[in-house]
Amino acid sequence: MDLGITGHTAIVTGGASGIGAATAALLRHEGARPVLWDLHAPQPDSTVADLPFERVDVADFNNVQAAWDKTESAFGPVKILVHCAAIGSGYFGFPYTNVPVSAWQQVLQVNILGMTHLAHIAGPAMSRRQAGSMVFLSSVAGQIGSPTDPPYSASKAATINFAQCMAKDLAPSNVRVNSVCPGMVQTPLNRSVWKSWNAQQPEDQKLSWEDWAEEKIRRVIPLGRWQKAEDVAAMIVFLSSCRASEITGQTINVDGGCVMHW
């Protein structure tokens, strides 16, 4: 299936690892020209190690603006933006009072203002050209009020809401904006949640990463298995393509049936 994105310049934030790297690799496979934005360069053995890389802090508006200008100067107009960069609080937040108020600030700075910075730069640029697609990585945690990490959950709910606001504003300019919500993907963020949870348990109740993961998957995922970064990337790339030209303002889950809407 031709996705109609051959030669399209694409920015992938958080593109050096995890879902961002899987998305960048698939964009390249489909003929696009992805540029990685991340705080850290990809590992030498990564599938995206040879892709163009910019060290970018999305929480810094001036840094984002400079990186955008540099990317467009080198590779041409950005037609696809995929925003995967995000952080968690590092606390297991059940109850929410386990998370100190001070821990909220950085999560909101990166996850909400980072998205805002990109929106204020990419939106007007794509609007002027009357073309473009933005996909923002959210989470099922933003839909169900997951108590695991309240700052992260709240920021991902904000991602969904703001993406819908942007979709309405930019639709007359033929710019599409969507959100994708992964379920359970084995990423460093998930491991950090497990470590934070385990640290609070009595010694006789602590679980290994493998046991904790198996129990959680069995309890919350109807398909009974982890989602892979490549599963999420497939949806992101489809939404970024010409095949999804009539899809905007949507929140699509890739979660093994964890959250079902009707």
Q: Characterise 229 by phi-psi region: left (phi > 0), alpha (psi -120 to 50), beta (else).
A: alpha
Closest CA to 232 of 193, 186, 190: 186
Taking the chain, what is the end-to-end CA distance rounded to the nearest angstrom? 29
152 is catalytic: yes
Contact 133/247 with Cβ under 8 angstroms? no
CA 155 to chain centre: 12
Integer Cα distance of 20 and 46 in angstroms: 12
- Give residues with Cβ within 8 angstroms of 240, minimum separation 6: 5, 10, 27, 32, 80, 82, 133, 135
* Catalytic position from the list 92, 152, 197, 226: 152
User: What token pair was written down for 52?
Assistant: 């163009």
Q: 3-class DSSP state for residue 92?
A: coil
Positions annotated as catalytic residues are: 152
